[in-house]
Structure 1
Amino acid sequence: MLRTLVRLWKNQSGLAALEVAFIMPFLLFLYFGLVDLTAMISLNRKVTYAASVVADLVTQNDTSLTAADIDDYFRAAALVMKPTPMTNIRVEVHQYRRVSGTITNQWTRRSANGANCAAPSTADMDNLMTDGNDLIVAVLCTTYSPYVATFLGENILGATSFSMSEQIALRPRQSATLACTGC
């Protein structure tokens, strides 16, 4: 009996399969987690850059622009976001004007896709504006659903999708104000 236990203790066959069975799930989780993390970072950078592109294009206009112009800028944002489809991405352009110390939203243009983005806060705009001056705020928002969430679910990750948004505020370059026709 003792001899049989010693022989089983020294037997190494099947040990590699047992190690793989214990380690492989962790390695797969690590691999797909890193794939999700890099995809999330890439999407976050695209969101920031696309919002910056839209704000930059809007503020390059002289004294006015049209709703069709802004729709073209939304298409530029779609090119930045490629290969991510624009179906879940919302782009918004807001124009604020300060008159006698009060900041008001003069016009807003939104893309057709995605859920509404959070409205820009006017609290910090006071430092960026003077009376009679406009501020253009481009907002882009979307959600990211990691692949790992499809089989781990909300219990482990805390959510099955994560919201991403970016606000870029710029002043018009050619004039103090910027009007929009059809917005």
Structure 2
Amino acid sequence: MKTRAAALLRSVAALCNDRRGLAAVEFAFVLPLMLVLFFGTVEFSSGVAVDRKVTLMARAASDLTSQSTQVVDADLQNFFSASVGIMTPYDPTPTKVTLSEIYVDASKVARIQWSKAGVMATGATQATLTASSRSQGDVVTSVVPAALLVAGTYLIFSEVSYKYVPTVGYVMAKSGINLTDVAFTRPRQSVCVFYAPTSATMPTTCSTY
């Protein structure tokens, strides 16, 4: 009996002293954390890159519009398509771009004069125009920087939103992160930028709604 007990104790002691496979066991414990850190770094880097592109898109859309004296739906569609192209190589379909013109009245109240939005369908090469969430006459004073609230002036206002969904959802928000940015530019060739669906209905005076 004592011999068996002694043998058992020796076996336990030998097992405790056995270091074979220790590195593999430690690696198995550390591997999940390493994978989370790796994919987290990759997804974070991609998110930062997409956020930067959202900023560039907002600036491009506003700048292209401000260089015109008048725009029709076909022009806006081209502007939207050009700005969305900046998103390459990332998927452009979660993108929504909104272009508006703002008038600042004598009381420094900013109101929407016209507004149009564009989205990108899956596999499409041209943007699709959609109704904007902003309407003519909407007050948007709160979104305009104080330095740009100059009475009697117009602003081209672009808004871009992009829903970034990480490839590996468990390291970031599974439902995605909404990335947004805005840009303001003043009309360069005229006091305001006229808008109409077609040139046949183009106004001849700047609106002051």
SS in 2 for 1:100: coil
- TM-score, normalised via structure 1 length: 0.85
Q: Deviations over 1:2-43 (max 9, x none)?
A: 433321121011212211210111111111111100010000
* One-letter code aligned to 1:84: Y
* One-letter code aligned to 2:181: E
- Of 96-105 and 160-169, deviating more is 96-105
* One-letter code aligned to 1:95: E
2:193 maps to which residue? 178
Matched, 1:135 2:135: no
1:163 maps to which residue? 178
* One-letter code aligned to 2:167: Y
Aligned length: 177
SS in 2 for 1:164: strand
Matched, 1:22 2:29: yes
Matched, 1:112 2:119: yes
RMSD of Structure 2 on Structure 1 (CA) = 2.5
Q: Distance in 2 between matches of 1:36 and 1:182?
A: 41
Q: Distance in 2 between matches of 1:148 and 1:2?
A: 48
Q: Which runs of 5+ in 1 are unaligned?
A: none
2:39 maps to which residue? 32
Match of 2:97 among 86, 91, 94: 91
1:76 maps to which residue? 82
- TM-score, normalised via structure 2 length: 0.75
Q: Deviations over 1:129-172 (max 9, x none)?
A: 333311111111011112332xx3xxx85652111111101111
Q: Deviations over 1:73-102 (max 9, x none)?
A: 111112101122322110110111123323
1:145 maps to which residue? 165
| Contact preservation (8 Å) 1:95, 1:107 | yes
1:122 maps to which residue? 141
Greater relative contact order structure (CA < 8 Å, 6+ sep): 1
Matched, 1:47 2:66: no
Q: What is the percentage of aligned positions where both structures have the same residue?
A: 27
Q: Which runs of 5+ in 2 are unaligned?
A: 1-7, 122-129, 199-209
SS in 1 for 2:180: strand
| Contact preservation (8 Å) 1:64, 1:179 | yes
Q: Distance in 2 between matches of 1:27 and 1:158?
A: 19
| Contact preservation (8 Å) 1:54, 1:74 | yes
Report which of the two structures shows the higher radius of gyration computed on alpha carbons. 2
Q: Distance in 2 between matches of 1:31 and 1:89?
A: 27
1:89 and 1:105, CA in 2 relative to 1: closer, same or farther beyond 3 A?
same
1:88 and 1:117, CA in 2 relative to 1: closer, same or farther beyond 3 A?
farther
SS in 1 for 2:79: helix
